[in-house]
Structure 1
Amino acid sequence: MKLLQINEKGPDVTGEEFDKFEKIVEAKLPEDFKLFLEKQNPKRTIERSIVKGDNQYTVFNWLPLSESDELSLASTFEWTKDLLEGKYLAFALDAGDWLFVISINQNDYGQIFFCRPDQELSEIIKLADSFEEFIIALQPYDENK
């Protein structure tokens, strides 16, 4: 898996923390996503933009797997659980607190989407078929896009 250049890193993650978090979300995390958290668990990175068509989607904050961070995978799961119907897990936010989510739903498991909290879940935008594909496509932010 491509390693991102990290500006700010979250704490190291243990297998026990994965088990605990998977119990909270009542789902197994996709393996490529778990590997990313295990190796990097970032809060901010240099590579943070993905272009789809005419649109650029930019990660402002990554949500680390951490019990000590106020803004984390677990805390965000709590406030997005109803919005995302328990089918998706927010793993990053853009500057407007819109969501980058990974599917934990059987139908599109592991796929990556962009979701605006003020829109219906049916309007989410697919960004990648897998977390690894998403990471590979990330580039440094380009203000000219």
Structure 2
Amino acid sequence: MLNFADIPNQSGGWLKPAEHREAVAILVEVKGFERQRPTPHGPKDSVLANLSVFNTQADLDAGTPAISEGVRIEQTVLARDLSGLVNQATIVTLAQVPSKTPGSNPAWVWRQVDRATQQKVVAYATNREAALQAAMSDAPDFD
């Protein structure tokens, strides 16, 4: 008999920084970067990433982030800062700073997290990878 499951609705799409403004930590795993990718609003630098968002301190302490895979990040500063991190990860939060262009909206920027927060996210990622490796080693061999 087949096992049926719904496709998670939080994968893909574009990063909406305001939705993660209060997150205590975001693990950003950069999967790709495209310079000046065509968009309906003109060409933009674009990052493709998987995000593990720890919305609250309780989420961080429990190691239970909200996970989104295949997220496009096209805000100018955010994409630029991640452009050199393809196949790497970083642990950050989001903040807004005044724009350098008069009359423009404040710009979204990444901020580094404190050491204690970083250690909890690294522990989460290490445990996740160990569980993945264990699952792969337990998978049947179809040779």
- Same-fold call, TM cutoff 0.5: no
TM-score (norm 2): 0.25
TM-score (norm 1): 0.25
Q: Normalized per residue, which structure has more strand?
A: 2
State the structure with more CA Rg. Answer: 2
